[in-house]
Amino acid sequence: MNKEKLNSKYKDLAEFYGYRIPLNEFFQCSLSVDCVVFGYHHNDVKVLLIKRGAEPFMGKWALPGDLMYPDENLNCAAMRVLRDLTGIENLFMEQAHTFGEKDRHPIGRVITVSYYALVNIEDYNPKPHSWAKDLEWHSLSNIPELAFDHRNILSGAMQKLRTNLWSRPVGLNMLPQKFTLNDVQQLYELILSEKFDKANFRKRMLNSDFITPLEEQQSNVRHRPAKLYKLTDNLNPKS
């Protein structure tokens, strides 16, 4: 079956390459995608998990993930899988890391590509679909046992988020559309597990081009209202 699908013009090329197995035997891997959706809510960072309603790891919590169809582009597969399992549509996700340990999946050789995104939890209303039997936002400080190597995949995405926080406005997608500098500082301190000096943090953030001041202030607050900011346009995450 693989042999027929391989372009016949190239089928006998294995000898040129000196491979120790026939060329068609290379074509026995499967690709999957796993989606790490981080959400911010009430000064806590959470991740969206599904409860698996299918073997393997039936009943375990897991990142929303599934196999890529053979006729599907990889990036499209990530968006399709997230939509199929959680109903979340058109979420821009960035590739995080590819995991290719040979025994990572009990069914066969499955290499998985992880994607991540950051959202404001209030903007989404995910529901379990397809073989996902349940779905919940879990605080990063209290993650249950996860299926496959999903604990590793989650850690890798978290590391990526931390690394990118100062070089790109990735974390700011988690905030509401209008936010204060204090909101930004709380988010950064939470993600980086680090306290920052207020004046220095403000200077660094205002120098970053990540945010743009609005001609507005907070309303309905007891303290002196703080200036509001928005995410600077056209600063989408890049790979």
| Positions that interact with its own copies (CB under 8 A) | 1-2, 5-7, 9-10, 13, 16-21, 23, 25-31, 53-56, 66-75, 77, 95, 97-102, 106-109, 111, 113, 130-131, 156, 159-160, 163-164, 166-168, 238-239
Determine the 3-state secondary structure of 228 from DSSP: strand
Q: Which is nearer to its own copies, 67 or 190 (CB)?
A: 67
φ/ψ bin of 229: left (φ > 0), alpha (ψ from -120 to 50), beta (otherwise): beta
DSSP 217: E
Q: Which is nearer to its own copies, 102 or 224 (CB)?
A: 102
- Establish whether the linkage from the previous residue to 56 is cis, with ω within 30° of 0: yes
| Nearest-approach distance from CB 171 to its own copies, in angstroms | 14
| Nearest-approach distance from CB 39 to its own copies, in angstroms | 23
Q: Which is nearer to its own copies, 29 or 206 (CB)?
A: 29
Q: Which is nearer to its own copies, 110 or 211 (CB)?
A: 110
For residues 113 and 100, give the distance between their C-alpha atoms in angstroms, rounded to a whole number. Answer: 9
| Nearest-approach distance from CB 70 to its own copies, in angstroms | 6
Q: Which is nearer to its own copies, 100 or 213 (CB)?
A: 100
Q: Which is nearer to its own copies, 124 or 166 (CB)?
A: 166
Which candidate, 110, 209, 117, places its Cα nearest to that of 170? Answer: 117
Q: Which is nearer to its own copies, 124 or 201 (CB)?
A: 201
Which candidate, 185, 177, 159, 184, places its Cα nearest to that of 214? Answer: 177
DSSP per residue, 125-137:
-----TTEEEEEE
Q: What angle do CA 127, 133, 135 make, to 5 degrees?
A: 45
Within 13 Å and on the Cβ side, how many CA atoms surround 7? 3
| Nearest-approach distance from CB 77 to its own copies, in angstroms | 8
For residues 221 and 50, give the distance between their C-alpha atoms in angstroms, rounded to a whole number. Answer: 37
| Nearest-approach distance from CB 91 to its own copies, in angstroms | 18
Both tokens of residue 239? 């790979």
| Nearest-approach distance from CB 197 to its own copies, in angstroms | 15
| Nearest-approach distance from CB 183 to its own copies, in angstroms | 23
**219 CB-contact burial (10 Å; exposed 0-12 / middle 13-18 / buried 19+):** exposed
